[in-house]
Amino acid sequence: MNGFLRFLTSARTSWIVLVVAFAGVAALFVLGSGASSETAPGSGLPDSAESVQVDRILDTFPDADTTSALLVYASDDGEALPADTVAAIQQKAFGDLVDLTPDGFIPPPQVSEDGTVALLVLPLTPEEDVEAQSERAAEIRTLAADGLDGVRTYLTGPEGFEVDIAAVFDGADFSLLLTTVIVVAVLLLITYRSPWLWLVPLVVIGTADASAGIVARRVAALAGVELDASVTGILSVLVFGAGTNYALLLIARYRDELRLAEDRREAMGRAVRGAGPAIIASGSTVALALATLLLGELSGNRALGLACAVGVVVAMAFALLVLPAALVLFGRWLFWPYIPRFGSPDAIARSPWGKLGRAVSHRPVVVAIAGAVALGALASGMFFVQTGLSQNDRFLQTPDAVKGQEVLAEAFSAGATSPATVMAPVADAAEVVEAIENIDGVDSARVVEETTDWTRIDVTLNASAETPEAFAAIERMRADVDDIGSGQTLVGGLDARALDVAGAQERDQALIIPLILVLVFLVLVVLLRAFVAPVLLLIAVVASFFSAVGAAWWLFQTPLFGFPAIDTNVLLFSFLFLVALGVDYSIFLVTRAQEETRTLGTTKGMIRALAATGAVITSAGILLAAVFAVLGVLPLITLTQIGVIVCIGVLIDTLLVRTVIVPAMAFIAGDKFWWPRRPAVTDAEAAAEPEIPPAPAQRRKREPVS
């Protein structure tokens, strides 16, 4: 270990680390990610899902290689569309739009009973490339609206929603990266109050982020996993947040060691030795917790887990290897105007966080109870949380496809735009149609086409897409058709797919959440070689999660947000990020307390650890909260909700749990906090010592102060 640290920080070898890192990053950029284009998020359901089985059977039908766009024409004044307007819409079915269809045919337009809305179904060939699909949609919109006055035109249906969801992520990586860099730069500048120190960690972590994106895509390709734009956006935020946290911890320790060592390279070696275990434990915890998503059913969850686990490992490597080598290139002047001078007074002893720790130690039971009450009050919103967003509710800004869907729902049957697709064996088809027509929530059922084995039946529901009423109707259909004929009839379509996704998400949560808790507990046990401390830390971080979700729910109900529900995958991702990242701050605090306890005892060791880490952890928490809040720049409610919940949770962890509740629990437990180990110095043995001892003896090593 000592040899490695000397290689990392020595004047003769530290530059080699930077050269190797630069060459590796350059090679990654030359190699590239291997991705030819961006992809929009998909459902990610496993092959066993009933809706996926329906889609697979649909692939055997003659028109399997087609999709459709719905062109909605609505009167501006709410009156019936004039006859010449309807004729013009009819003419479009024989005009330029026909050139975009695979068979050169567009069915005649359907006009609502009140005559105010016309619907034109445009068959299309599926387009995998997002950019090409977007260009085609723009052409369709232009041709559809050309020559029509007094009419609003919307592109909706499967094609419309795919295009609008892709548009949400168009340029997402750049906008997220730019906003994240600005937020991190401003907060680092405020934290260090130096005109140039902030540049070093920003450049290192920025390079780590760029490298992580390429490495994650390469690893995902090898694993047969596809990363969409939402995953890469979260990856960038996570790498910047976690990487900057590690950088803050290392630089804070380096600043302390510069007061104790005349040689800055020796100080950096001691800083890496002191902060390294906490950073490794923290990064490993986050990476392993993220890796649990690989056990999920939904491919989107697996993609996020794989990519983000790789990203955290890359961020940790850059923070522990590249950042120390980069910092020691410069002298102490890098910290100007607050230069840590060799032999200067112990700043830890004067820390206001130490005063807070001493105050908590006087009344730990009262403080712990007050903290628990505060967390409980924040968590009260959990009793009212609603989950599940419909397709129309997932956008912060209403796109064209949603507006068109709403117009259609008012003019036609609510479920006309997203019929359920039922696949029945040919011999059972007639009986299936008859049974479905008698099911509550069904408007109509009709046979569309059939092959030698299967009959396709389109079922129109009387409920809007992806609503509880639509899901209930799908469940009733599935239950009833199972008892007909061979029992092989399957129910698919948009609502069925959304229902399957919700079910898969629930199963993923039931598996992954307990697994994360067990994993984090085992990491803490190995790190601290104790059982009581890990249990208390885990209880605290889980309580902060419930508080964050409860507080966020109250916030979501305000006019500022007005969200009707929390999306199905938000709770799992928020739990993952908050438990994995939230326990980071407790790891930073408790590992330092473990170090100080060897000479000061549990109580005084915790007070000094709080004094030593208070400022850096608070800065790191505020920065991480701000970075996750950046997800709100995308007009997709799911990412905004994740960003808000994680932001609130990190602030709770930073300002309440780590600052007050964890120290209070340690003071209450005393030496039993480290059970079954007995601390080298017990509280009783440390009682006669000064409350905050002088700084350790300085090791003098002659080197001109640079």
Residues 196-211 pLDDT 10s? 888 888 899 989 988 9
Q: Which two tokens stand for residue 110?
A: 């359907």
* Cα(498)–Cα(503) distance, integer angstroms: 9
Confidence class of residue 415 from pLDDT cuts 50, 70 and 90? low
Confidence class of residue 64 from pLDDT cuts 50, 70 and 90? low
Q: Give pLDDT, residue 412.
A: 79
The closest alpha carbon to 488, from 458, 531, 454, belongs to 454
- Percent of the chain past pLDDT 70, that is, above it, reads 93
Residue 81, pLDDT above cutoff 60 = yes
Q: Give pLDDT, residue 371.
A: 92
Residue 476, pLDDT above cutoff 60 = yes
Give the residue with greater pLDDT, 705 vs 639. Answer: 639
* Distances 104 to 72, 92, 115 between C-alpha atoms, Å: 20, 12, 27
Average pLDDT, the chain: 84
Residue 329, pLDDT above cutoff 90 = no
Residue 705, pLDDT above cutoff 70 = no
Q: Give pLDDT, residue 695.
A: 45
Q: Give pLDDT, residue 694.
A: 46
The closest alpha carbon to 372, from 554, 241, 543, belongs to 543
* Cα(260)–Cα(700) distance, integer angstroms: 8
- Percent of the chain past pLDDT 90, that is, above it, reads 19
Confidence class of residue 34 from pLDDT cuts 50, 70 and 90? low
Q: Are 390 and 464 in contact (CB under 8 A)?
A: yes
Residues 534-575 pLDDT 10s? 999 999 989 999 999 999 999 999 888 888 889 888 999 899
Q: Give pLDDT, residue 173.
A: 63
Mean pLDDT of 233-254: 86
Residues 6+ apart with CB under 8 A from 419: 458, 459, 460, 461, 493
Q: Are 389 and 637 in contact (CB under 8 A)?
A: yes
Q: Give pLDDT, residue 196.
A: 84
Q: Give pLDDT, residue 58.
A: 87
Tokens 């000064």 belong to: 690
Give the residue with greater pLDDT, 73 vs 93. Answer: 73
Q: Which two tokens stand for residue 267?
A: 């100080």
pTM: 0.83
Residue 164, pLDDT above cutoff 90 = no
Confidence class of residue 697 from pLDDT cuts 50, 70 and 90? very low
The closest alpha carbon to 579, from 380, 290, 379, belongs to 290
Least confident range from 201-205, 613-617, 659-663: namely 613-617
Tokens 């950073």 belong to: 279
Residue 660, pLDDT above cutoff 80 = yes
Angle, nearest 10°, between helix axes 14-31 and 2-9? 80
Confidence class of residue 365 from pLDDT cuts 50, 70 and 90? very high
Confidence class of residue 629 from pLDDT cuts 50, 70 and 90? confident
Q: How many helices (H) and strands (E) does the chain have?
A: 23, 8
Which SS3 state, helix, strand or coil, does residue 70 take? strand
Q: Give pLDDT, residue 701.
A: 42
Which SS3 state, helix, strand or coil, does residue 114 take? coil
Extract the runs of DSSP E, i.e. beta strands, from 428-534.
442-450, 454-461, 490-492
* Cα(681)–Cα(671) distance, integer angstroms: 9
Q: Give pLDDT, residue 171.
A: 61
Mean pLDDT of 443-454: 88
* Cα(309)–Cα(312) distance, integer angstroms: 5
* Cα(673)–Cα(536) distance, integer angstroms: 9
Residues 173-194 pLDDT 10s? 677 778 878 888 888 888 778 8
The closest alpha carbon to 704, from 332, 339, 334, belongs to 332
Q: Give pLDDT, residue 309.
A: 92
* Cα(588)–Cα(610) distance, integer angstroms: 10
Confidence class of residue 431 from pLDDT cuts 50, 70 and 90? very high
Residue 653, pLDDT above cutoff 70 = yes
* Cα(109)–Cα(122) distance, integer angstroms: 10
Q: Give pLDDT, residue 474.
A: 92
Least confident range from 24-33, 304-313, 470-479: namely 24-33
